[in-house]
Each structure stands twice: as C-alpha cells, then as structure tokens.
Structure 1
Amino acid sequence: MAASAERRRSRILEVVRETGSIRVAELAERLDIPAVTVRRDVAVLADEGKVQRTHGSVALSGGQPAGQGRVIGMLVPTVGQYFDEVIAGANAAATEAGARLVLGIAPYGAGNDRAQVERLLESDVDGLLLTPGWTPDGGLEGGDWLGELPVPAVLVERRAAPLSAAARLDAVCSDHRHGVLLALRRFVALGHDAVLLAARADTRTAYEVRAGYAEATGQLGLPALPVIDVTSPGASRSPVDEADLAARIAEAVRKGVRAVVVHNDQDALQLPSLLRTHGLTVPEDVALIAYDDVYASLSEPPLTAVAPPKQAVGSGALELLLRRLDAGDSMPVHRIELLPTLELRKSCGGPT
C-alpha cells in the first residue's frame, strides 16, 4: 500500500514537472486515478513542500507565475464599447500571470446574472470577476447569492450597497464622481458659471455620474440644473435621441448655459453637427465634455472627455483576485477606486 502511494505520488510529480501546472481533474484523468485519491496525494505532496495547491489546480513549488494554471471567470453586462477595454486589461493581466480568462455575458435587464455565474462555475473556475447588471431602477444591491459563491470573487466597476452580501467582496472600480468633478472644474477654470448634465439613467455608471454632478456643483458653487435624461432605448423611461438632445441643449444655451457634460460619448458624438442645425458651433457657442472616452477622439471637433481607467480596472481586478486566491481570508476586504483623467481636446475650448 505504501509503495503504491509512493508510486502514485512520483507519477503525479512527473506530470506536474512536465506541465508546470495542471488541474486536478485533468491530472486524475491523465493518470487514470480517482480524483479523490489524487487530491489526497496532492495534499501530502503539498505538506512536503513539493507542490503548490490552488483551487482545483496543482503546480510545482516556486518559480511559477502567481496565476499559473488558474481559470478565472469574468461576468460583464455587455461586450463592445466600454467593457471591451476592461476585458482587455483583465485578459492581459491573466495572460501575464499564466492564467486563463473565461467570459460570460449577462445583458442589462435580462436578470440572469446568477444563471451566467453558475455556467462559469461549471467551467471549474478558480475565481470570478463580476460586473452584475445593477441599475438604479432595479436596485443597487446584489442578491444574497453573492454571499454564497464557492470561489473568491471581485466586483468590477461596481460599488456594493453597505451591509449587502456583495459588500463582503473585494472590489475595483473607477471613481466616476471624481471624473465628473474634473469636468466641471475644467469648465469653471474656463469661466463658465453653470454646467448642464445630459446623462443616461439606466446603468450603475450613469448613477455615479449623476451623483457626482450633484456633489460637484455643490463643491464648486454651481447651480444644480435639471439633468437631461438620455436613457437608452429599451429602458423603463422614454429615451431622448440625439436630435432631441441637441434641441434641449440649444434651449439651454438661449437661457445662458454654454457648457455641457454628456454621458456617454456615444451620445455626444453627433452633437456638434446637430447643434449646427440650431446655429450653434462647438466650442465657440457651446462647450462639450463627453464621459467614457471610447469614441470621443473620433468626433469633429474631437471631444474633450473624462477617461475612466478602463484597462487598469480590469487588470487591477484580476491581480487582486489572484492575491485573494493566495491569501484566502487572511487578507482584509479591499475596495480599490482608480481615478479617471480628463483628456483635453478641442470641444471644450481653451488651451489643449
């Protein structure tokens, strides 16, 4: 019996040396040994310092990247636009660490976050990067199921409600309220005494942008003007399209407001040409700052934009998750906020 166990463990070491890192299920299949037996042998080898165990994987001790062989599930509400860059940052960090990223999509309004996470868990992931489709209309709290996940998880571009199940998770997000403050402070420096906000109302980022506007106007002594709602089609409120938005901005300009922040830059992109139909030019008659900086530089004139650190959020969340996988509960819960920057272009006037 002892000789048999010794032989099994020798074979396990041979395979681990060959692969560098391997999942326990794959190791059991390759050696044709029951998975429960392999796990016991791996535990013994780990106690002897010959291998390192992670959730579901085994690697040689020392000399391996922190995430070697790990599989990370990532849930996002959409691909394209903003989240393409977040995903790219996470994927680059995973590749550098020797891990692999598996993507799941739970569209806004679909209500299937949990089902998509369960599908990711079926892929035997070691940890999760989660961007739940929380909306202001649907509530900002995560479901209780977020406190029952069998693997570590990090929230991405989401702030959990205090005392909710999700508040016990690590989180990495952009400080969108600071981003709005940057935009309004720029307008104040250019001599504007009022700034209009046109913003969506259907995403968590939109909620933070609106909250940031309320805070920033108070800090800078500006009037808090009624927000123009440019909710996306399909949301519970009636959307304002780009032509309607241009007309609303033109009306505000006639009342003396000549500075506008627009969330997001997809909605801002067509405004310069549409405003010309109202006899207004950008930035001479109305100054614009977009929010998100995905397409803003492609406008004519190029749009000054608040740029959340999208790729850095993705890579930072992946790296934090790997740290959590190594440290377990010995590491305190981390809530990391990264500051956006203001990318100066022609649309807001002043020197660039």
Structure 2
Amino acid sequence: MTNTAEERRARILEVVRELGSVRVMDLAARIGTAPVTVRRDVAALAESGLLRRSHGAVSLPREALAPGAEGRERVIGMLVPSVGSYFDEVIDGARAAAAAAGARLLLGIASYESTDDRAQVDQLLDSGLDGLLLTPNWRPGTGAGDTAWVRDLPVPAVLVERLAPPDSVAAELDAVGSDHQHGVLLALRHLQRLGHTSVLLAAREDTWTAYQVRAGYQEGVRLLGLAPQPVIDIRRPGLDSEVIAGRVAEAVAEGVRAVLVHNDQEAIQLAPLLRARGLRAPDDLALISYDDVFAALAAPALTAVAPPKRAVGAEAVELMLRRIEGGAELPVHHVRLLPELKVRTSCGGVPEGGAR
C-alpha cells in the first residue's frame, strides 16, 4: 500500500501515464488506497495542473502528453439500440463529423429488447476509446434506472437522444438530442391551421422517443386548445395495424379528421388499411407520421415530423471532441435540436407562410 501523500500522488501520475485515462474507483484499486483519499489526491493534482478530471475519470492534461500524442487519431465509441432505421442517420452524421475531424468511430449495438448495454460498452472500451457516445436502453417513463456505471465510465460520455432524469447521477453528463415534444407541437399546430380542432395520436409505447411524443401530444393539445382524444396504444409494433385502423375509423366516424402516427412504419402500414375502410388521405383525413425515415416513399407521400437525426450525430461528435480537449473546464452541455415538419401530400394543404 502507498502511504505518504507524495508517494500516492507519484503513483497516481504513474498509473495515469500508463493507462491514459482511468476511473477514480479503478485508480484507487490499482494503488491500493481508499477512493476518498484518491479523490483528494486527484483534486490536488488537478489544481496543480498535473491531472485533468472529467466525469469520474482522470487523464493527463494535453500539455503533459508525449511529443506528438496530441495529434494522434481520436477514437470515439458509439452505442445505439438499432441500425436499419432512425439511428442510421444519426450514425451517418456522427461518422461524417468524426471523419472531418480526423477521428475514428467504432459502433456497438444493444437492441431495445436487450439488457446488455454495459457489456457492449465494455467491449468498446477495450478498443482504447477516447470518448463514448451513448444511447442507453432506459425504459420510457421509468427513469434512467442504474446510471452510476454511466457516470463512472473511464472516458468522457455524451448521451445521444437520451436525457437522464434530473435526480439521476447521470444528469450532469453531456447530452445531445432532438426536442421531440417541439416536433409534436409543430404537427399539431400545422393541423390546427388547416382547420382541425381535434387530432388523434396513435403511438408506440416501448421507446424513449415514443414517450417524448406522447408527452408532447398532451402538452401540445393543452397549449393549442385542441379537443383531447384518448391515445391509441401500439403495443405490438408492426402487428397491430388492423386494430389501429379500426380505432382510427371509429374516431373518424365521431368527427375526428386528423391523426398523428408514431412512427413511419406504422403510418405506412395504416394508410392502405384505412383505404379498405373507405378512408383516404388526404380526402377523408389528414395523416402525419413521426420520424421521417421512410415517409416520403409512402403512397401518398406522408407529411412527417423530421427530427434532425444527422445533425444530432454530428453535434454529439463535435461536443465529444470539445469535451476531450477541454475536460472538466468545459461546462456540461444539454443540447436540444429542433425537428422540422416536412409537408407532403397526406395532409391536403400547406398553412399560410409554410410549415417549419
């Protein structure tokens, strides 16, 4: 065990030089000293400019790196819950921004149904990352669960399309994402301008975005004074289309003439089923999709809320690179990017002045 403060701090610097970046807890175990003591030593070394602290990890300041090290290729890991749809564009944006900055992006996937976020992250960390872009599988409406491991990562982390609850230990992590509640408000406002006084929402309930869309609908209906409607739950994505079509047809029979659907897949499957019931968009009802991954390819082409997916990926990489360089001196950023409304055939009109 290392005893005197001078010996401990010399050993701390030795370990950090060897590993590049290390969590305080791992550092304490490595030198055989209580974490509370190591934190005090790290604070003293950081105050002297010999170490840099960032989100539970320590590293050498840039000026202390070996000659040429500051120009080395940065390696950024990225964990997403899926590929093949929404996150493809987020990944594309991140990849382009990383390439432009001379950095390398490594990808990990932990599906929505899995609970192996941490295993995937550990696999990425073994590749020698400088930072991690992280989309954890936090369940909607249930908080962020166990977030301590996210806070204690040995490298800086930026949450992507996620925001930790204010009372979570991960709440002070950097985060970049779409303001989905604003996106829903755009759709509702557009429909109101077209003369609709009530809008139906059919939405999934198993993803973070779905939860934000539902919250945005409740708030948007209140703000705009629209007549609220019970939300149609899409409990089995891709399999409940007949049931959803029946529920929408019932609402139309009661006078509702507009529907917002999360997401594109559900909206595209819904359109022909409504047609089989004698309902066509835009003649009999206005239809808006949320996500805008495939909406433009539908028949008719769907008006859609388009979260800035590529911009989210690019901004996350740029923030990560600033965090790597600035360490704890850079204030924590929570960046919300605003979606746009892409007006197409399925709504039957464009409001005065266009839509945003």
Report the counterpart of residue 73 of structure 1 in structure 2. 77
Equivalent residue, structure 2, for 1:279: 278
| DSSP-derived class of the 2:201 partner | strand
String of CA shifts for 1:119-176, please: whole Å, max 9, x gaps.
1111110000000011226543452111211100000000111131211210000000
Paired residue for 2:298? 299
Question: 2:14 maps to what in 1?
Answer: none
Alpha-carbon distance between aligned partners in 2 of 1:315 and 1:145, rounded to the nearest angstrom: 25
Instruction: State the partner residue of 2:157.
Output: 153
| Counterpart in the other structure of 1:118 | 122
Q: Which residue of 2 aligns with 1:133?
A: 137
Relative distance call for 1:306 and 1:56 in structure 2 (3 A) is farther
Which residue of structure 2 aligns with residue 176 of structure 1?
A: 180
- Identify the residue that residue 289 of structure 2 maps to in structure 1: 290
Moved more, 290-299 or 107-116: 107-116
CA RMSD of aligned residues (A): 2.5
Moved over 6 A (4+): none
The CA deviation at 1:232 is 3.7
Distance in 1, Cα, partners of 2:344 & 2:209: 23
Question: How many angstroms does 1:258 deviate by?
Answer: 0.6
Gaps of 5+ in 2: 1-17, 20-49, 51-59
**Structure 2 counterparts to residues 1-352 of structure 1, below 5 A:** 60=68, 68-136=72-140, 139-233=143-237, 241-351=240-350
Structure 2 residue identity aligned to 1:267: E
> CA 1:273/1:123 → structure 2, altered by over 3 Å: closer, same or farther?
same
CA deviation profile, 1:11-54 (whole Å, cap 9, x unmatched): xxxxxxxxxxxxx99xxxxxxxxxxxxxxxxxxxxx9xxxx976
CA contact (8 A) 1:73 1:125 kept: yes
Amino acid at match of 1:121: L
Contact 1:262 1:290 in 2 (8 A): yes
CA shift for structure 1 position 242? 1.4
C-alpha separation between the residues in 1 aligned to 2:174 and 2:219? 25
Q: Is the 8 A contact 2:143 2:165 kept in 1?
A: no
CA separation in 2, counterparts of 1:58 and 1:314? 31
Cα shift at 1:240 = 5.8
Following the alignment from structure 1 to structure 2, what is the Cα–Cα distance between the partners of residues 258 and 323?
48
The normalised TM-score by structure 2 is 0.79
Distance 1:128 1:56 in 2: 23
Q: Is the 8 A contact 1:265 1:295 kept in 2?
A: yes
Tell me the distance in 1 between the aligned counterparts of 2:242 and 2:332. 46
Of all paired residues, the percent bearing the same amino acid is 59
Q: Is the 8 A contact 1:141 1:161 kept in 2?
A: no
Contact 1:242 1:267 in 2 (8 A): yes
- Normalised by the size of structure 1, how large is the TM-score? 0.80
In structure 2, what is the equivalent of residue 44 of structure 1? none
Long gaps (5+) in structure 1: 1-23, 26-46, 234-238
Report the alpha carbon displacement of residue 55 of structure 1 after superposing the two structures with TM: 12
Work out the number of aligned pairs and report it: 298
Conserved in 1, the CA contact under 8 Å of 2:81 and 2:110?
yes
Show CA shifts across 1:225-256 (max 9, x none): 111011345xxxxx861121111111100000
Matches of 2:168 and 2:63 in 1, distance apart?
26
Partner of 2:36: none
**Alpha carbons of structure 1 residues 57 and 174: separation in structure 2 relative to 1, 3 Å:** farther
